[in-house]
Amino acid sequence: MSRLWFVLMSSMLLTQALAQTKSATPIDIRFEEITSKTGIDFLHTDGGSGKHYIIETICSGLAIFDYDGDGLMDIYFLNGAYHEGKKPDSHPTNRLYRNMGDWRFVDVTELAGVGDASHSLGATVGDFDNDGDEDLYVSNYGPKVFYRNNGDGTFTTVEDAPGTVEDAPGKAANRVGAGVAFLDIDADGDLDLYVANYIKFSYDKDVNRLIFGIPAAPGPKDYEPDNHQLFRNNGDGSFTDISMESGIGLSPGAGMGIVSLDFDRDGDTDLFVCNDSAENFLWENDGTGKFTEIALIAGVAYDYAGLRQASMGADCADIDHDGFLDIVSTNFQDEIPNVYHNSEGKFFDDLGVAYGLGVATRSVTWGVALSDFDNDSFVDLFLASGHLIDTVGLLDNTVQFATRNFLLRNIDGKRFMDVSATAGSGLKIEKASRALGCEDLDQDGDLDIVILNLNSTPDILRNDTAAKDNHWVELRLIGLSCNRDAVGSQVKIQTKKGLQIQEVHRGRGYQSHYGNDLHFGLGNAEEIDFIEVHWHGAAKEVYRNVSIDRKSTLIQGTSPKLRDN
Amino acid sequence: MQAITHRDSCQKLYLSSQDASPFAKIALVCLAFGCGAKPVPQLDGPNEPVKQELSAKAPPQVESQPQPPELSIAPKESGAAGALPELDDSPSLIAQDISDLKEMATKIVDGMAIQFPNDPDAMEAKARYYRMIGKLDVAKACWVHAIEQVPNYGYAHQGLGSIALRNSDYAGAVDSLKEAVKFMPGDVTAVHELSDALMKKGDSPEAIQVLEAQIAIKPKSGDTLQLLGQARLANRDYEGASDAFQKSLELAPDNHLSQQGLGAALVRLGKREEAKKWLIQQKSARSTSNMDSSVAQAAERADIAARLTYAAQVYLKHEKPDLALEVLRVAAANEPRDEESRRLMVKLYQQVNKPNQAIEIAKQLAEISPNNLGYRMTIGTISLRQKDWATAQESFAFVVETMPSRPEGYAAMVELSIVSGKNMEKAIELAKTVTELRGTAADFATYGQTLAMNGKLPDAIAAMKIASMKDPESQNFKSILEQLMKSQGTR
């Protein structure tokens, strides 16, 4: 009897120990590279002039969005254009690939009418006219392009759209566009537009840099930084340039990636802007669409050592579940990507070192995504990496032009751990990556990744993480009194894993757009206690009994319980 | 581009007045007499000369090394490898472009390292050159080899630490840099890099300890105080950070990193308005544009010249002044404004008894840096030795005219009068001025000497008495005084 009791007890203890081990051992995040199976045949070019124009080295972004409303996320790749000094054999254009499901994509560029042949640099997506479909804005070297979605799988180029007129040839010098974002600056229910510009470049102002006789890329400080633009949506399909009166146009900066966020949770949408080799911007909104630049005071202008950074791309998320959105920005070689930790909306501390991002300092990092790839409830970090020009190995033989990207797992909100080496074939690719985006492309409950590579084919990474015990929920927000995309709305989810917060963005990462729906990993929580949506410029609503492991649509005003602001 | 550290910029000058001839001693002092913006080299400071380093660490067995190959540093086009023309910047020494110069410099540095494979200084010189041109694997191998030869070679540990730091191997960097600091206590570069590595490793408390220890040794370092502020800021000691940044700014008011750090600390202390003032001030101090391409290329040439000068020091250490001179001439020819190589050339041309060449190079230095009166003094001193009284007179007079409140020019003119036997009456007045401006025992002795040479024995005796009083241990002064008194008695 006692022997049987001993065996039973031992067995129970062993089971408990194994269970503890299982819960303590993180699941390997795995991404498999499946591009060739998808039918995506996009080939990026920087223009190939061979002159290392600065606008060639920095391009390009991408956008992932559901252009045809079929519930599947489609992919829009930006492309370069042939430049002065190069006689083109053919004209590269941006390409739109429709997601047919089951990892099949079809090039619908011509059909949709979005094959802009400019040297494209940034893109964002948003329902600017609140008609229920996603419109597309493309930032170029030269006039920008604004595509209105006709709702039938086609787009119409919007004439006289913001940034497409004042920069048109003959009216002003070509501007080097960068990151763009839709946001509702004054909570009037329609989406306004922030357009970052980079530097004042023209072919005759090209700077050739040599380092010890080896061709090197010119930097932003070789040129004059440009001013950024803000356009107010008039609600009738037109926009008004309010760059100066809003304060945005008063400070030039070599802008790149941008992300809007309500960092101080005062209910209006602020904006973080990466400035290359200069102080970043943090535009604080007074709620009426007037902005004050506070990056110096807020602690996001420099890195932890007070040094300027190259600041390529940016994303934000609540990394440590403290209820405030933190910011990550990517940087140049020998600079540590920044983790600007938000101290209750008062100021930020750059904790990139403490969070372990020193692992990425041998590369130039561009695209960035703070997303929960293993659904453990903590956002992980993906960094797209690659150097500026292909001669870099001659300047420093410990760095390469084509490098692998970085996947870092969030360890309980306290630090990131580089798990790239064990993350499957998707993290073994060595290219000069630029933009990236994350969406659940196959609707299997985890986030897949799309990467745009300079002068190369893109990479589609399927998330094969075997996180069966981890749950998730994906939320699509539809605003009624607030803008239809609910941009600027914040969502809190309470589970036994703690409180998570996310915000709806339209424009993030490296001059890109992704994350149309909010994807929350729930860990092993099998139910959601409640979801609180703070609709932008409107009341909070609380939703209960939302099912896990599925996508849900939350429509403003439909929750059983409204909460006061 | 690599930043040149203080040590890299040829501060390990092989200048030791202990082993120089009397005239060379004057020249050395003159070279170090910085009247312009250039700081006087700290020959006894932490940036000890190569010679001193050698004495502290086992010298390599130079004799057992393979026979050095002929230097082959001229560009391909000239076809003239080996011996260099006697003087001046011959076209064959001048590289066509920076790539050509890099090729020449690589040959020189490689050749130097082949000749002295067991000399850690040679490895150090090669490592820093290769690090500069972006071949970090070669640099690392050199430093590893240097440590194999001399395990306590601090510079190599520091070099390995800096590479580890660059490769994000923070633990490795901390280990190497702790070794560097152990073997070079108080070395600013090593300490600063160690604190950086500790911060990046996430150990700001230890970084604070290291920096506080450094400040105990060198309390007047604004940069160290700035780093201390930064470490305390990371450690969330905002009051302590504010204090360190403020102290840094007392020493270096324009340090924009201290201004920024102080602003950041004040924000965290809730003093936002005060913080704004500092943050705005620091921002305006930062440059917003890259240097012009031509300036950048000049900086690269200067970097290469500095590394070549370092290599020349290695040759010099191994008592090969001719080879050192060849290397220095390449450095100088390709960087028309490089002073360090030329300073060493002046010294070496004197050592190999080529005073005309020394004067020519010193004249180049005077053109490059007209405010550095030390170069004028050097010209005068060498001219004096050459009995070129007119050039010496012109040089010393320029110094007196430019800086009438400094004694060196007057003293040199006195020396000139004594050696040449000219203007002895005037020499009395000048020597008296020296006693008024500086008034050392030696100055009074010289004053006495001029008086005696002009037959003014009572005054000479009086002056020598002061000299003896100021330096009662000097038997020489006593002896001269006795002779003077004897002469006076005889009279």
Angle between helices B238-251 and B256-268 (to 10 degrees): 150
Q: Cβ of A49: how many Cβ atoms within 10 Å?
A: 17
- The reply to whether residue B167 touches residue A362, judged by beta carbons under 8 angstroms, is yes
CB A482 within 8 A of CB A289: no
**Which of B166, B199, B261 lies nearest to residue A306, judging by beta carbons?**
B261
Residue of higher predicted confidence among A50 and B223: B223
pLDDT at position B421 over 80: yes
Report the distance separating Cα A92 and Cα A545, nearest Å: 49
- Please give, rounded to a whole number of angstroms, the shortest distance from the CA of A350 to a CA of chain B: 9
pLDDT at position A349 over 90: yes
CB B44 within 8 A of CB B80: no
* Chain centre to alpha carbon of residue B465: 38
* Chain centre to alpha carbon of residue B361: 17
Query: pLDDT grade, residue B30 (50/70/90)?
Result: very low
Residue to test with chain A: of B279, B291, B297, most A Cβ within 10 A: B279
pLDDT at A73: 98
Considering only CB atoms, which residues of chain B are within 8 Å of chain A? 1, 97-99, 102, 133-137, 166-168, 170, 199-200, 202, 230, 234, 256-257, 260-261, 263-264, 267-268, 272, 275-276, 279-280, 282-283, 286-290, 293, 296-297, 300
Chain A (173-232) residues lying within 8 Å, Cβ to Cβ, of chain B: 207-214, 218-219, 221-222, 225
Residue to test with chain A: of B129, B137, B168, most A Cβ within 10 A: B168
Report the distance separating Cα A272 and Cα A194, nearest Å: 11
Structure confidence by residue, pLDDT tens digits, A469-515: 899 999 999 999 999 999 999 999 999 989 999 999 999 999 999 99
User: Measured between CB atoms, does A304 come within 8 Å of chain B?
Assistant: yes
pLDDT at position B78 over 60: no
Structure confidence by residue, pLDDT tens digits, A377-414: 999 999 999 999 888 999 998 899 999 999 999 999 99
Q: What is the mean pLDDT of residues A58-73?
A: 96
pLDDT at position B489 over 70: yes
pLDDT at position A237 over 80: yes
**Which of A211, A353, A397 lies nearest to residue B137, judging by beta carbons?**
A397
pLDDT at B288: 82
Structure confidence by residue, pLDDT tens digits, A518-563: 999 999 999 999 999 999 999 999 999 899 999 999 999 987 654 4
- Please give, rounded to a whole number of angstroms, the shortest distance from the CA of A470 to a CA of chain B: 31
Query: pLDDT grade, residue B150 (50/70/90)?
Result: very high
Nearby residues of A167 by Cβ (< 8 Å), 6 or more positions away = A142, A143, A144, A173, A174, A175
Query: pLDDT grade, residue B285 (50/70/90)?
Result: confident
Structure tokens at A439: 């969406």
Please provide the average confidence, as pLDDT, over all residues in chain B.
83
- The reply to whether residue B168 touches residue A358, judged by beta carbons under 8 angstroms, is yes
Residue to test with chain A: of B97, B130, B166, most A Cβ within 10 A: B166
**Which of B137, B168, B260 lies nearest to residue A302, judging by beta carbons?**
B260
Q: What is the mean pLDDT of residues B136-158?
A: 97
Report the distance separating Cα A325 and Cα A317, nearest Å: 5
pLDDT at position B64 over 80: no
- The reply to whether residue B137 touches residue A306, judged by beta carbons under 8 angstroms, is no
pLDDT at position B40 over 90: no
pLDDT at B44: 27
Q: What is the mean pLDDT of residues B79-105?
A: 66
pLDDT at A5: 54
- The reply to whether residue A210 touches residue B297, judged by beta carbons under 8 angstroms, is yes
Query: pLDDT grade, residue B58 (50/70/90)?
Result: very low
DSSP string, A37-95: HHT----------SS--HHHHH---EEEE-TTSSSS-EEEE------TT---SS----E
Q: Identify which of A82, A80, A85 has the alpha carbon closest to the alpha carbon of residue A59.
A: A80
Q: What is the mean pLDDT of residues B379-404?
A: 94
Residue of higher predicted confidence among B75 and A473: A473
pLDDT at position A362 over 80: yes
pLDDT at A256: 98
pLDDT at B35: 32
Q: What is the mean pLDDT of residues B22-32?
A: 36
Question: To the nearest whole percent, how much of chain A has pLDDT over 90?
Answer: 81
**Which of A222, A305, A334 lies nearest to residue B290, judging by beta carbons?**
A222
Q: Identify which of A482, A477, A435, A432 has the alpha carbon closest to the alpha carbon of residue A454.
A: A432
pLDDT at A215: 87
pLDDT at position B71 over 50: no
Residue of higher predicted confidence among A529 and B80: A529
Q: Identify which of B265, B266, B285, B282 has the alpha carbon closest to the alpha carbon of residue B274.
A: B266
- A279 interaction partners in chain B (CB closer than 8 Å): 283
Query: pLDDT grade, residue A25 (50/70/90)?
Result: low
- Please give, rounded to a whole number of angstroms, the shortest distance from the CA of A176 to a CA of chain B: 18
Structure confidence by residue, pLDDT tens digits, A192-217: 999 999 999 999 889 888 899 888 88
Q: What is the mean pLDDT of residues B102-123?
A: 96
Range from A85-99, B288-302, B409-423 that averages highest in pLDDT: B409-423
Complex-level ipTM: 0.89
- Please give, rounded to a whole number of angstroms, the shortest distance from the CA of B398 to a CA of chain A: 40
Question: Which amino acid, A28?
Answer: D
Report the distance separating Cα A180 and Cα A194, nearest Å: 6
Q: What is the mean pLDDT of residues A115-133?
A: 97
Q: Cβ of B276: how many Cβ atoms within 10 Å?
A: 16
- Please give, rounded to a whole number of angstroms, the shortest distance from the CA of A249 to a CA of chain B: 18
Please provide the average confidence, as pLDDT, over all residues in chain A.
92
Chain A (337-366) residues lying within 8 Å, Cβ to Cβ, of chain B: 347, 353-354, 358-362
Q: Which residue of A has its CA nearest to B288?
A: A221
pLDDT at position A3 over 70: no
pLDDT at A467: 79
Query: pLDDT grade, residue B291 (50/70/90)?
Result: confident
Residue to test with chain A: of B289, B291, B292, most A Cβ within 10 A: B289
pLDDT at position A350 over 50: yes
- The reply to whether residue A304 touches residue B288, judged by beta carbons under 8 angstroms, is no
Q: Are strands A459-463 and A448-453 parallel, antiparallel or unpaired?
A: antiparallel
- The reply to whether residue A395 touches residue B134, judged by beta carbons under 8 angstroms, is yes
pLDDT at position B60 over 50: no
- A397 interaction partners in chain B (CB closer than 8 Å): 134-137
For CA atoms A426, A427, A429, A431, give the dihedral sign: positive
Q: Which residue of A has its CA nearest to B197?
A: A353
| Runs of H (alpha helix) within B293-335 | 293-317, 321-334
Nearby residues of B452 by Cβ (< 8 Å), 6 or more positions away = B460, B484
- The reply to whether residue A299 touches residue B267, judged by beta carbons under 8 angstroms, is yes
Report the distance separating Cα B194 and Cα A544, nearest Å: 53
pLDDT at A11: 52
- Please give, rounded to a whole number of angstroms, the shortest distance from the CA of B230 to a CA of chain A: 7
Q: Identify which of B477, B473, B355, B445 has the alpha carbon closest to the alpha carbon of residue B23.
A: B355
pLDDT at position A236 over 90: yes
pLDDT at B490: 63
pLDDT at position B17 over 80: no
- The reply to whether residue B230 touches residue A304, judged by beta carbons under 8 angstroms, is yes
pLDDT at B42: 25
- Please give, rounded to a whole number of angstroms, the shortest distance from the CA of A358 to a CA of chain B: 6
Query: pLDDT grade, residue A28 (50/70/90)?
Result: very high
pLDDT at B29: 34
Report the distance separating Cα A454 and Cα A457, nearest Å: 8
Q: What is the mean pLDDT of residues B447-472?
A: 94
pLDDT at A563: 45
Question: To the nearest whole percent, how much of chain B has pLDDT over 90?
Answer: 73
Report the distance separating Cα A310 and Cα B162, nearest Å: 22
Residue to test with chain B: of A52, A207, A209, A212, most B Cβ within 10 A: A212
- The reply to whether residue B102 touches residue A212, judged by beta carbons under 8 angstroms, is yes
Residue of higher predicted confidence among B61 and B7: B7
Report the distance separating Cα A145 and Cα A143, nearest Å: 7
Q: What is the mean pLDDT of residues A254-279?
A: 97
Min mean pLDDT across A67-76, A390-399, B89-98, B439-448 is at: B89-98
pLDDT at position B451 over 90: yes
- Please give, rounded to a whole number of angstroms, the shortest distance from the CA of B117 to a CA of chain A: 23
Q: What is the mean pLDDT of residues A367-372?
A: 98
Q: What is the mean pLDDT of residues A250-265?
A: 97
pLDDT at position A290 over 60: yes
Residue of higher predicted confidence among A148 and A174: A148
Residue of higher predicted confidence among A343 and A90: A343
Rounded to 5°, angle at Cα B325 from B324 and B327: 65
- Please give, rounded to a whole number of angstroms, the shortest distance from the CA of B116 to a CA of chain A: 25
Query: Model pTM?
Result: 0.85
Report the distance separating Cα B469 and Cα B484, nearest Å: 16
Q: Which residue of A has its CA nearest to B226?
A: A305
Strand (E) or helix (H) holding A256: strand A255-261
Residue of higher predicted confidence among A373 and B26: A373
3 state DSSP class of A507: coil
- A252 interaction partners in chain B (CB closer than 8 Å): none
- Please give, rounded to a whole number of angstroms, the shortest distance from the CA of A306 to a CA of chain B: 6
Q: Identify which of B369, B490, B390 has the alpha carbon closest to the alpha carbon of residue B33.
A: B369
- A210 interaction partners in chain B (CB closer than 8 Å): 98, 293, 297
User: Measured between CB atoms, does A36 come within 8 Å of chain B?
Assistant: no
